[in-house]
Amino acid sequence: MKAEILKSIFNEFDHKSNYISHSELNSGHINDTFLIKTDGTKDYILQRINHTIFKDVPGLVNNKVLTSEHLKSKYPNISEEELSKKILCFVKNKNNDFYYYKKDGDFWNVMIFIEDSITHDIVKDKEIAYEGGKLLGDFLNGTSDFDSSQLIDVIPNFHDMASRYKQYASSVQSASKERLKKAERYTKIVSDLKEEMHILQNLKEEGEIPVRVTHNDTKISNSLFTKDNKGICMIDTDTVMPGIIHYDFGDAIRTICNTAAEDEKDLSKVEFNFDYYKSYKKGFLETTKDSLTPIEIKHLPLAAKTMIFIMGLRFLTDYLNNDVYYKTEYLEHNLDRAKNQFKLIESLEKQYNNLKSEAVLAAS
């Protein structure tokens, strides 16, 4: 995107600084995200929000602002300046809105960049896994008293397995013969796992697992760390909505324990790292053990398997639908992502029974 255009959009916001340069941050699959360097004391994140996928952008931005406000209210004695180093802070535009609507139909928002922070697409150190677990625990603790009736449902049924399965079944119906053939091995795996992968959803619907305010996009690249591996905070609060903690635990594990990137094509590089699972779980339970119910703890391994599955299912669905949802860089990108997730499940299964036994013990 041209510097002049980004600069003029950035200048719609009230940041009292001047654009110097920008770089695109590429880890998201939906929005477009840019780091804007300025001549002032702060740099900023400028984001174009995909309004084809997010139907109510003002509602989404309001969710994000309310979430940050709620998290900030936990630190009544800390200045805004200090808060902006550990909680996402949104910047208003010149009309006092937290988003800017450009006449061409795009929505934009701006956040303060948290200085000296870094993200990881792949985890290479169990300290990061442990710190990541604590960050999620802190996030869930921080939002545990948040009145979720203030939030809009950004994408209804976002992690609802029944609804994702329905979308998948309809993609199978409409897919081209060629794509179906290429996906054959994976459609078979989906059929084999279907029943087990609905267990968490059923427990949620039966009221056995409590609904809380959850993040819903906890992949590890959505957590900020210091350069010496300490957790700072979770970012990308686009999908904060009511949910079960298993969505968040499982989605984080899906990315932390994958020894390769989510779209690595060489499946021999894709393995489930059990040490990182243990470290993440340790950090997570240290921060949440007083609030989780035994049934929540018992089902953490199933959460991991279910969230890897649901992402595999969603990538496969998008492949069968001719790539209409996620950004793709080449023809079979979604199929490669799906294959990667199903390989990760295969690797997880090698020690799945051990993880389940440990979870039963931890829950008792």
Q: Which residues bind ligand GN1 (CB under 6 A)?
A: 28-30, 53, 217, 219, 236, 239, 262, 311
Task: Return the residue nearest ligand GN1 (CB atom).
Answer: 30
In the complex with Mg ion, the residue whose CB is nearer, 129 or 154, is 154
Q: Which does 219 bind (CB under 5 to 8 A by kind): Mg ion, ligand GN1, none?
A: ligand GN1
Select from ligand GN1, Mg ion, none the partner in contact with residue 175, using the beta carbon and a kind-dependent cut-off of 5 to 8 Å: none
Options 12, 138, 217, 264; binder of Mg ion; rule CB under 5 A: 217
- Measured from the CB of residue 176, what is the shortest distance to Mg ion in angstroms? 29
Stretch that binds Mg ion, among 174-182, 234-242, 290-298, 346-354 (CB under 5 A): 234-242
Residue 199 binds which entry of Mg ion, ligand GN1, none, CB below 5-8 Å type-dependent: none
Given the complex with Mg ion, which of 236 and 264 has the nearer CB atom?
236
Q: Pseudo-torsion of CA 36, 38, 44, 46, nearest 10°? A: -40
**CB of 28 or CB of 231, closer to ligand GN1:** 28
- CB-wise, 236 or 262, nearer to Mg ion? 236
Distance CA 62, CA 59 (A): 5
Residue 101 CA to residue 79 CA, distance in Å, equals 30
Of residues 64 and 219, the one with the C-beta less far from ligand GN1: 219
Q: How far is CA 180 from each of CA 144, 321, 331, rounded to the nearest angstrom?
A: 43, 10, 14
The residues, any chain, with a CB within 8 Å of residue 343's CB and separated by 6 or more, are 267, 270
Q: Closest separation between CB of residue 53 and ligand GN1, Å? A: 6
Cβ of residue 27: shortest distance to ligand GN1, in angstroms? Answer: 6
Q: How far is it, in rounded angstroms, from Cα 164 to Cα 58?
A: 25
From ligand GN1, Mg ion, none, which one binds at residue 29 (CB under 5 to 8 Å depending on kind)?
ligand GN1
Query: Residue 272 and residue 262: Cα distance in Å, rounded?
Result: 12
> What count of other Cβ atoms lies within 10 Å of the Cβ of residue 105?
7
**Two tokens at 59?**
């509602």
Residue 219 C-beta: closest distance to ligand GN1, Å: 5
Q: How, if at all, do strands 19-25 and 32-38 pair?
A: antiparallel
* Sign of the torsion formed by the C-alpha atoms of 289, 293, 295 and 301: negative
Q: Please, which residue, 19 or 108, has the CB nearer to ligand GN1? A: 108
Q: Which of 131, 236, 251, 336 binds Mg ion (CB under 5 A)?
A: 236
The DSSP bridge pattern shows strands 241-243 and 212-214 to be antiparallel
CA separation, residue 202 to residues 86, 102, 268 (Å): 36, 42, 34
Q: Check residue 131 for interaction with Mg ion (CB under 5 A).
A: no
**Nearer to Mg ion (CB atom), residue 32 or residue 238:** 238
Interacting residue ranges for Mg ion, rule: CB under 5 A: 217, 236, 238
